[in-house]
Amino acid sequence: MLNIVVVEAHDQLRGEWVDFLQRPGWQVHGVADDAALEAALLGDAIDIVVLDLCPPCEAGVGTARRLRAERPAVGLLALADRLADGYDTGADLCLPKPVDTHVLEAAIQVLGRRRQSRAPVLWPDRLQFTTASDDVLALAPVEALVLRCLALAPDTPITPDALIHRLCREHAVQTRPDRLDALIHGLTDRLDAQPAHHGLLLTVPGQGYRLGRPIRVA
């Protein structure tokens, strides 16, 4: 399921787009400006941002360029009067305004498929994790096992007890909840330190741990 943020200053138009884009089962949030976008990005892991570059939207070209520099893993779909203006910001796709909602939905589907094909890859045997840009993160053996377990259940949080049971049953790894929590938080900090990995590993209060977006297991 894609997690999408729509940045549009016009309340009515933003509401229409959010309602329409929820039909395929996507999780869609509508925000009006740059500050609200930043707040959304600090919450759940976001897959795609739909960003209106046209006035009077306050989140414009500068926001698009910063988003591309700081969060390269987030798909960026820009809406602009001139397509060149959108692509100059580093947007993955750009559509002219006014945009037909069905065209917008189709563009998001294309961008979602692109992101899936560029999903990060976990190499358990090599104890490595790589991104589409070939950045490599070395992993401890238990870190690789945890990511593998989470990759097999990408949409559902796994409770600490369930994860400990799976590690013990499938990989003969013994650990305690406090040690697992420390391991998860340490791995999260290491992943979040690299923009391409930011938001990949999430702790869901009261539920457990899950991936912020899919990864492939080689």
CA dihedral for 14, 17, 19, 25, sign (positive or negative)? negative
User: Is-cis flag, bond preceding 195, omega within 30?
Assistant: no
- With H, G, I as helix, E, B as strand and everything else as coil, classify residue 24: coil
Residue 90: C-alpha distances to residues 37, 182, 198 (Å): 18, 37, 19
Q: Is the pLDDT of residue 16 over 90?
A: yes
Range name among 10-19, 113-122, 161-170 with the lowest pLDDT average:
113-122
- Which residue type does 119 have? A
The pTM (predicted TM-score) of the whole model is 0.64
- DSSP assignment letter at 158: B
Helices (H), ranges, 42-140: 61-70, 83-88, 101-117
- Cβ atoms of residues 168 and 15 within 8 Å: no
Read off the pLDDT of each residue in 197-208 and give the average, rounded to a whole number: 85
Q: Is the pLDDT of residue 43 over 60?
A: yes
pLDDT in tens, 58-101: 567 888 888 888 777 788 999 988 888 888 888 889 999 888 99
Closest CA to 1 of 47, 40, 62, 44: 47
Residue 75's H or E segment, with its range, is strand 75-80
Can you name the residues that pair with 75 across neighbouring β-strands? 48
Q: Is the pLDDT of residue 56 over 60?
A: no
Please, what is the average pLDDT of the chain?
Answer: 85
Between CA 26 and CA 44, with CA 160 as vertex, the angle to 5 degrees is 30
What is the architecture, at CATH level 2, of domain 121-217?
A: Orthogonal Bundle (1.10)
- DSSP assignment letter at 199: T
Does domain 3-117 sit in CATH 3.30.465.10? no
Closest CA to 206 of 148, 153, 159: 159
Domain limits, the chain = 3-117, 121-217
pLDDT band at 176 (very low <50, low <70, confident <90, very high): confident
What pLDDT does 17 receive? 93
